[in-house]
Structure 1
Amino acid sequence: MKQTNRTRASWIAAGTVLLGLTAPLTTSATAAAHSTAHSLHWGACEGGGLDPRQQCASVKVPMDYADPGGPKVDVVISRIRSENPVARRGVLLLIPGGPGSSSLADPSGKGQKLPQDVRDAYDLIGFAPRGLAPSTSVSCGLDRADLATSKLRPWPAPDGSVTENMVTARRVADACARDGGALIQHIGTVDEARDIDRIRAALGEPRLSAWGVSYGTYVGAVYSQLFPHRTGRIVLDSNDDPDPTRVSRAWLAGYETGVEDVFPEFARWASAPGNPDRVTRTPAEVRPLFLRLAARLDRTPIPWPGANPGELNGNVLRQNMVDSLYAPSRFPALAQLMLAALHGTVPPAPAEPPEPVLQNVTAVSAATLCNDAAWPASAIEYQEGVAESRRRHPLTAGMPRNAMVCAAWPYPPRQAPVRITDHGPSGIVLVQNERDVATPLSGALKLREALGDRAVMVTVGSTGHNAYLANGNTCGDRTVSRFLATGQRPEHDTHCG
C-alpha cells in the first residue's frame, strides 16, 4: 500500500499577519459540543513507553454516515492536556499518515517535540482511525507472502509484465471481501474526516486545529473543505496531490518524481570520501550501479532467510531503495544492502511488526485507497502505463503506474472524492521539503494551487519525508511553530533555504 513502509517505520520505532477566522459556530452548536464532552471516559492508554500524562478514551461514530442511526464503531483517541491552562486556546489534532497509520501515541512522541508555547496553547490529541486497532478493527486474513511490502507495492515482473500483479490484486481483494466484514466498505477519507468532527464535538471544542502529515494532509484538507466553520489553524506537512479524479493513483504515481528528486542526494552521500558505506568513487556511478545490480538480482536472486519474501531479488532491492530515500538517516541501509548484494550476501533480515498488526494496517490501507476512488480494471491500461513509466523512470521500474488491489476491489466508491477548493477559511500553512520521495514537491504544489488564497506554502530546502520538526530545517520549523502558537503566518509563500 502507499504507506505500508511508512507505517513499518513508525513501528521500527519574513512578514507575518494575524489570521482571522470566519463563520463562527452558533451558541447552540457550541453548547451541544460541550455537553457531548462530558460523555468521554478518560483512562489509561494501552501500550508502554507513553508519557504518564497521556490518557485515552473512545468515541462512538456511525459505521455508515448515510445511516447515522445504524451500527456504531469505536474510534479511540488520546490526550495530553495543555501545559499552561491560562494560555490554552483549544486542541491540536495530530492527523497520521498512511493510510493505515495511527497517531494514538503521538501526544507522547512527536507532540513533545513541539515548542513550549505550542504545548501551552493546545491539548494534544491523537487517534487511531476507524478500522485500526485499538479502534474497531478490520483484517483481510492475507497469506504471509502477500504482506511483503514488495508484493503490496505493485512492482511488475522483471520483463515489465503486470499479469501477476492482476492475479495478486484479485486474490487480495477477494480476501478483504471475505474477511473484512461490513466495516471495510466504510473506511475512507471522508469517513475519517467525519469521524474527526465527531472527535471535535466529543471534546467540546467549537473549532479544531490540526497538524496533518503525508496522507494526513489530504485528510486535513478534506476536513477543512467539509467543515470550514469548525476549522482552526491547520498545518499540512509533506503534501499529497489532491487530484480528485485519481486520488491515491496520483499519490502512487508521485514516486516516479520523488525517487528522481532524492536519488541524486543518495548518490552524493554514497560516493563521498570517508563514508564507511561508500559504494562508488563518484556520484555519477551510483545510479548505473544500482540499475545493474537490480537487473542482476532479477536474474539471480540471493536467498534471504527470515525475510519476506525469503530472497533478495530485483524488486526487493528496488523497494528497499524507495524505503531508504524517506530520510537521509536511512541512506546507510540501502548502501549496506547494495554492498552485501555485490558480494553475493545479505544482511540480517529486517525486523517486522507482529503479523496481526500487518494484517490490520494492510486492510485499512487497502480499504482507504480503494474506497476513495475507482481504479481501472483493465490489465491493458496498466500495462501501457507501466511500459511508459519504465522507459522514463527506470529506477522505479513501472511500479508507480501499476495495478494495486484496487484494480479488483469489489465495492464501488460510495461517493465522489471531495474536491479541494479555494473556498473556506484562510488558516492553512503548507510545509514541504524540496526533495521528498513519497510526497514530492510537484504534487504539493497542486494542493497549494487548489487551496488558493486559503493557504501559504513554506518550501524547505531539505531532503526527506516529513518536514516539520523532522527532516526540515530551523527556518521552516520556526515559521510553522509561530503560526501554531500565535496565528501568524507568512504574508506570501516563502522559501526556507
Structure 2
Amino acid sequence: MRRRDVGRGAALAVVLGLAGSVVAAPAVADEPAAGPAWGACPKDVVTKVAALRCATVPVPLDYREPEGGQIEIMVSRLASKNPGKRRGVLMLNPGGPGGSGLSFPDDLAWFGIPASVLDSYDVIGMDTRGIGHSAPVSCGFTAEQGHLGNIPPYAVDEAAVTEQAKNAKAVAEQCAANDKDGRLRHVSTANMARDLDRIRAALGEEKMSFLGYSYGSALGAAYASMFPERSDRIVLDSNIGDTHLDQDGIRRYALGAEETFPDFARWAAARHESYGLGRTPEQVRKTYFTLAERLDTTPVNGVDGRVFRLATFAGLYGKTKYGLTAQLWQSVRDGDPAAAEQLAATPAPTDNSWSVFLAVTCNDVEWPSDVRTYQRAVAEDRERYPLYGAASANITPCAFWPHEPAEPPVAVDDKGPANVLVLQNRRDPVTPHRGGELLDEKFGDRSRLVSVDGSGHGVYVLGDNACALSTTTSFLVDGTLPKRDMPCT
C-alpha cells in the first residue's frame, strides 16, 4: 500500500509473544544536544514551488543499544514565513512504507495546502530510515525479476498460490543474502516512530504535529501511542486500520476494490459511446472479468490477467486515472498489441522502495508461514471479493522472512490527549473506509473520524472535498477537533 510521488498525481502498500531472550527497545534514546545544520537538498530532491532546505539527524541503528552504531535520517524543511503565527513543526509522511518524503512539503504546496497551515508550521519532510538518503537498504531486486510489488499476484487456483510461495521464499532469501550490514532487521514502524521523536528533539520542539497518508497513518498512530504527551495535532489520512500492516490489512485491499470499482463502472458506462465497455455498470463489471479471464488463458506478449487486474486496481486510486484505465481496457478488448506494451511498461517499485516495504511489513508483525493458510484465504476472498481478493490474500515474502519481530507491534494508546483527526474516503481501493473506522475505534475518545463521501486514495489537499479541507485546516491551525465523528458529503 503505497503512494509514490503523490504530489505529482501518481499514486503508486497479529499480536505476538516475544521470546524470553528478546528485550524491547525503549521508547526513545538520549536526545541529541545539537540542532541540525540546514543546507542545500540533494539534487534528486526536485521541487516545483517551494524552497526546501535539508539536514541530517543522527539516530541509533538499534534503540536497544543507543550508544552503538548510528545512522543518519535526512529531513527537509519548508520554513514558516510568518514567525508570529508559527506554532511548531508539522512532520509529513507520504505513505509506503517505502516512499521518499523529502520533496513532500513541496508536493503539498504545489497541490495548494492552505497558506494558514504553511504560516503555522515549519513543514518537515523526510526519508524515513532505510529509504533514499537515510541509510538505504537493498534486497538487490532487478527489473528482470518479474512481478515485484506490495500486492501479490492474482492466484487463479491453489497451484498458483504454491507457485507464488516459491517466488516469495526466494525473495525473502534474496533479502537476507543482500543484508550485508545487518540494517534490514532494524527497519520497523516502532523504530521510525522513535526516529520521529529524535528529529523533534533535534529541532528543539517540545511537541510535534503530524500529517500522514496511507502507511503514514500507521506511523502517525504509532507516534501518538508511543509518545502521547509529545504529540500535538495528529492527522491520519487514508488509514490502514492500525500501527502496522498485517495479513488482514492487506486482505482489506480487496474490500476497497469492491467498494471503489462501482465509481469507475458508472463513469465508464456513461461514456460507452466513447470506450464501448458497457452501457451499464453491470456490463462494465462483466467486461472486466471477460478481459481478465481471456488474458489468464491467452497472455499477450507475456502479459496475463494478473497484470491486467493490477493495472485496473491502480486505476481506481483516483478519478484522474479513469480515462487511461478505460483506454487500456479498450486496447485489450480490441487485441491492440500496444496494450500489452502499455501493461508491461507499468513502472515497478524500485529496489529500495520495495525492500523497505518488505522490511517494515515483515518486521512489524509475525506472519503465517503455512502455505495452506494462504490457499484457504485466497479461496475465501476469491468468492467474497471476486475483483481482486485472490491477489491481496495471496502469500507474500513475509511468510518466509529471515527475522522474527524484535518486539510486539505498537498498541494504539487511547489514554492520551484528544488530538487525533482520522480522515477517510468512503470508497478507497487500498485503504477502505473500514480502516478509518478501526483506527478511530482503537483511539476511543482521543480521535474523531471524518468520513468523506469521496472516491480514491487521499483526502486532505489531495482530494476535492471542501468540508474535509476546512475541517482539517481548522484542526491544524486552531486546534478545533470536531465534537464527534462527522460525515463530509
Partners of 1:476 and 1:11 in 2: how far apart?
Answer: 21
Cα offsets for 1:364-401 (capped at 9, x unmatched): 01100100001111111111111111122111141122
Which residue number corresponds to residue 278 of structure 2? 280
Mapped to 2, the partners of 1:323 and 1:52 lie a distance apart of: 29
Change (3 A) 1:11 1:110: closer
In the alignment, what sits opposite 1:195?
195
Matched pairs, number: 463
Q: Distance in 2 between matches of 1:274 and 1:185?
A: 51
Q: Which runs of 5+ in 2 are unaligned?
A: 11-29
Q: 1:337 aligns with which of 328, 338, 354?
A: 328
Alpha-carbon distance in 2 for matches of 1:168, 1:397: 19
Shift of 1:152: 5.0
Partner of 1:321, secondary structure, is helix
- Matching residue of 1:120: 119
Deviates more, 1:214-223 or 1:135-144: 135-144
2:173 aligned residue: 174
Q: Distance in 2 between matches of 1:275 and 1:470?
A: 30
CA displacement at 1:106 relative to structure 2: 1.1
Matched residue, 1:17? none
What is the Cα deviation at residue 481 of structure 1?
0.5
1:88-237 paired onto structure 2 within 5 Å: 88-112=86-110, 113-146=112-145, 148-149=147-148, 153-161=151-159, 162-181=161-180, 182-237=182-237
Q: Deviations over 1:441-467 (max 9, x none)?
A: 012101010000001111111101001
Alpha-carbon distance in structure 1 between the residues aligned to 2:184 and 2:206: 30
Relative to structure 1, the CA distance from residue 286 to residue 472 in structure 2 (aligned partners, 3 Å threshold; closer, same or farther) is: same
Residues 274 and 159 (structure 1), Cα distance of their counterparts in 2 relative to 1, 3 Å cut: closer
Q: Does 1:442 align with 2:437?
A: no
Distance 2:32 2:63 in 1: 22
- Residue 333 of structure 1: CA displacement? 2.1
Q: CA deviation at 1:337?
A: 1.3
- Give the Cα–Cα distance (whole angstroms) in 1 for the partners of residues 445 and 396 of structure 2: 35
State the distance in 2 between where 1:59 and 1:363 align. 22
Change (3 A) 1:251 1:378: same
Counterpart contact for 1:433–1:464, Cα < 8 Å: yes
Matches within 5 A, 1:49-64: 49-51=47-49, 53-64=51-62
Tell me if 1:406 matches 2:398.
Answer: yes
Which of 480-489 and 271-280 deviates more?
A: 271-280
Q: Give the whole-Å Cα distance in 1 for the aligned partners of 2:135 and 2:243.
A: 30
Q: Distance in 1 between matches of 2:262 and 2:82?
A: 45
Structure 1 475/441 Cα, relative in aligned 2: closer, same or farther at 3 Å? same
CA distance in 2, matches of 1:485, 1:396: 40
* 2:422 equivalent to 1:425: no
Looking at structure 1, the residues matched to 33 and 138 of structure 2 have their Cα atoms a distance apart, in angstroms, of: 35
1:78–1:104 CA contact under 8 A, matched in 2: yes
Q: CA deviation at 1:154?
A: 1.5
Match of 1:314 in 2: 305
In 1, Cα distance between equivalents of 2:150 and 2:462: 27
- CA shift for structure 1 position 73: 1.0
The equivalent position to 2:478 in structure 1, one of 462, 473, 486, is: 486
Contact 2:272 2:279 in 1 (8 A): no
Q: Calculate percent identity across the aligned residue pairs.
A: 38
**Which has the higher mean CA deviation after the structures are superposed, 252-261 or 140-149?**
140-149
Aligned residue for 1:73, secondary structure, equals strand
SS in 2 for 1:433: strand
Q: Which residue of 2 aligns with 1:379?
A: 371
- Partner SS for 1:366: helix
> Structure 1 pair 9/35, CA: closer, same or farther in 2 (3 Å)?
closer
| Cα separation, 1, equivalents of 2:50 and 2:377 | 51
Aligned counterparts of 1:262 and 1:325: Cα–Cα separation in 2 = 7
Asked if the contact 1:61/1:73 (under 8 Å) is kept, the reply is: yes
- Alignment partners' CA distance in 2, 1:152 and 1:484: 32
Residue pair 1:137, 1:360 contacting (<8 A) in 2 also: yes
Q: CA deviation at 1:158?
A: 2.6
Q: How many angstroms does 1:136 deviate by?
A: 1.0
TM-score using structure 1 length: 0.89
Q: Is the 8 A contact 1:232 1:427 kept in 2?
A: yes
Q: 1:340-365: per-residue Cα shift (whole Å, max 9, x none)?
A: 11111233536666x8x701111101
Write the letter of the residue equivalent to 1:218.
Answer: A
1:294 to 292, 295, 298: 292
Maintained 8 Å contact 1:34/1:204: no
**Deviation for aligned residue 1:142:** 2.1
1:33–1:206 CA contact under 8 A, matched in 2: no
Q: Aligned partners of 2:431 and 2:155: how far apart in 1? A: 25
- Given the superposition, is the C-alpha separation of residues 469 and 275 from structure 1 closer, same or farther in structure 2, using an over 3 Å criterion? farther
The answer on whether the counterparts of 2:155 and 2:378 sit within 8 Å (CA) in structure 1 is no
Residue identity in the other structure for 1:349: Q
1:324 and 1:298 map into 2 onto residues whose CA distance is 20
CA RMSD of aligned residues (A): 2.1
Maintained 8 Å contact 1:155/1:397: no
Is the contact between residue 243 and residue 410 of structure 2 (CA under 8 Å) also seen in structure 1? no
Shift of 1:46: 2.7
Query: In the alignment, is the contact (CA less than 8 A) between 2:243 and 2:409 conserved in 1?
Result: no
Greater mean deviation of Cα atoms: 390-399 or 45-54: 45-54
CA separation in 2, counterparts of 1:156 and 1:120? 46
Paired position in structure 1 for 2:17: none
**Matches of 1:253 and 1:185 in 2, distance apart?**
24
Note the C-alpha offset of 1:42: 3.1
In structure 1, the gaps of 5 or more residues are: 14-31, 304-310
Task: Report the AA paired with residue 443 of structure 2.
Answer: L
Q: 1:242 is aligned with what amino acid?
A: D
Structure 1 distance, partners of 2:446, 2:454, is 25
Query: Is residue 366 of structure 1 aligned with residue 358 of structure 2?
Result: yes
Whether the 8 Å CA contact 1:157–1:164 is kept in 2: the answer is no
Q: CA deviation at 1:172?
A: 0.5
Q: Find the aligned partners of 2:230 and 2:109 in 1 and give their Cα distance.
A: 22
Match of 1:391 in 2: 383
Q: How far 1:468 sits from its partner (Å)? A: 0.7
Give CA-to-partner distance per residue, 1:162-200, whole Å, 9 cap, x none. 111111111111111011231111001001100100110
